[in-house]
Structures are given as structure tokens and as C-alpha cells.
Structure 1
Amino acid sequence: MPIAEARIPTDRPGRYLVQLCKHFSNKGRHLGPGARSHHGGDVTPPAGTHTPPELTPDRIDVEWSDTRGVVSLPWGRCTLDAAPEVLMLRAEADDEQGLRRLQDLLETHIGRFGRRDELRVDWRQSEGPAGS
């Protein structure tokens, strides 16, 4: 299982964790037949295309507190941890394509939500076992 981790320095890690988790939770609730969704990096699909069959509300699971969150999508899972002055991400997927897709999606959203603070994600490949 490919794994990547990132440490994002910020003085507001909890705020970004909650904002990301709420966003992904809302996406899951608002998806439905004929709805459009983000594809691998927040790209709206061209006219005439449909939501990918694997991205349905029942396949998006998000749980969070002020200090820890887990976002599970059909192609991977990200664990978010807010520590003093850092937001930590751990992305896991069944294959490299799923991992890249998850990384791109997270980078896009963190870049957009953290634009004012100039947040950047620097992924590092990990060989360690999955965290809890």
C-alpha cells in the first residue's frame, strides 16, 4: 500500500483540519444522480460528463475532531492531525494512481483554503505501517 506524508507548518492547524473535513463531508452529502464533483485536483468535468460511479455519497466517509480527522474516498484515505504549529497529513491508497489522485486533491484544497497563509504541501513517500 503506497503511503505519503506531509507536514504543513501553520499557526492554525486545527482550523485547516476542520475546514478540510467539513468541505469533504459536505461534498459527500451534496453528491447525487447527475451531480458534478471534483476530479483529481478540483477540476470540474467537461459538459456532458457524469460523476464517476465510484464517487457517491455512500463512498465518502469523513470523521473529525479539532485535532484529528480521517477522510476516506473510493481511491484512498487521508489522516489529518493538528499538532502545535503543524498540520500533518498521511495519505494511503491501494495503488500509486489512487495515491497521486488523493495527493492532488488535498494539495489543491489546502492551497486554496490556505492561500492567505501561503500553505504548501511537500509530500514524502513513507514505507512505514499505517497509523491509527
Structure 2
Amino acid sequence: MLTSEAHITTDRPGRYLTQLCKHFANKGRHLSRRPRTHTLPDLRPDQIQVEWTDTDGTLRLPWGQCTLQAVPGTLRVRVEADDRENLERLRELVSTHIGRFSRRDPLRVEWQQSGAPGDAPGDATVPPR
């Protein structure tokens, strides 16, 4: 299993954890009443499983899993996947959504590889938008 982690500095880690989890939990709902603003390629709403509390969250997708933890001053994010392509897909998904949700006060997502050296792609930095 390949993993990558980001520790995102923010005054509101719980708010972003909840916002991310609620967003993915609601994917696919009400599609007949309003258009989707963006899509997740090759993914049906029934393939998304989300669980969260005020301090911990888990997002399971067919490509892998994202674990979130809100601690004072930091949102910790860990993504896990079976291969590099899916790991990068999860990293991009989380980085893009954090960027959208933090437009007023942009957050910086800096991924660090975990596990065995050479298993994951190099560190990828997504600058604030």
C-alpha cells in the first residue's frame, strides 16, 4: 500500500474536515434537481463511503482511502492507494477541494511520501490559488 501525508496549517481544522466529509457524503444526491458543478471521473455516488466526527474522518473510494484528523492548528490528511496512479488521483482530489474550500484564506497542501522509499511519487506541492 502506498501512502502520502499532508499536515495543513489552519486555525479551523475541524471546519475543513467536516466540510470535506459532508461534501463527499452528499456527492450524487439531488442530481435530478440541480446540475453538478464538477464530476469525479469513473465514480458513482454509491462507491463513496464517508464517516466522520468533529475530529476524525474517513473517505473510502474505489481507488483508495483518505483519513483526516483535526488537531489544534492542523488538519492531518493521509491518503492510501494500491498504485501510484490512484495515490496521485487521491492527492489531487484532496488538494483541489481544499483549494476550493479555502479560497478566501488559501491553505497550502504539501504532500510528503510515507512508507518505503521509491514507492510513491515525489513530493508534490499544490500552491495556494
Normalising to structure 1: TM-score of the pair?
0.78
40, 50, 70: which is aligned to 2:58? 70
User: Aligned-residue CA RMSD in angstroms?
Assistant: 1.9
Residue 83 in 1 paired to residue 71 in 2? yes
**Cα shift at 1:38:** 2.2
CA contact (8 A) 1:21 1:71 kept: yes
Q: Distance in 1 between matches of 2:92 and 2:49?
A: 18
**Cα shift at 1:58:** 2.2
Aligned to 2:24: 24
**Cα shift at 1:56:** 1.8
Q: Amino acid of the residue matched to residue 38 of structure 1?
A: T
**Cα shift at 1:73:** 0.8
Identity score, percent: 61
Aligned to 2:121: none
**Which structure dedicates a bigger proportion of its chain to strand?**
2
> Unmatched 5+ residue regions in structure 1?
40-50
Superposition pairs of residues 2-81 of structure 1, within 5 angstroms: 2-30=2-30, 38-39=39-40, 52=42, 55-81=43-69
**Cα shift at 1:109:** 0.3
Deviations along 1:22-70, whole A, 9 cap, x unmatched? 00011144569xx86624xxxxxxxxxxx62xx2222110000110000
CA contact (8 A) 1:30 1:57 kept: no
Deviant stretches of 4+, over 2 Å = 28-32, 35-39
Q: Distance in 1 between matches of 2:17 and 2:106?
A: 16
Q: Amino acid of the residue matched to residue 69 of structure 1?
A: G
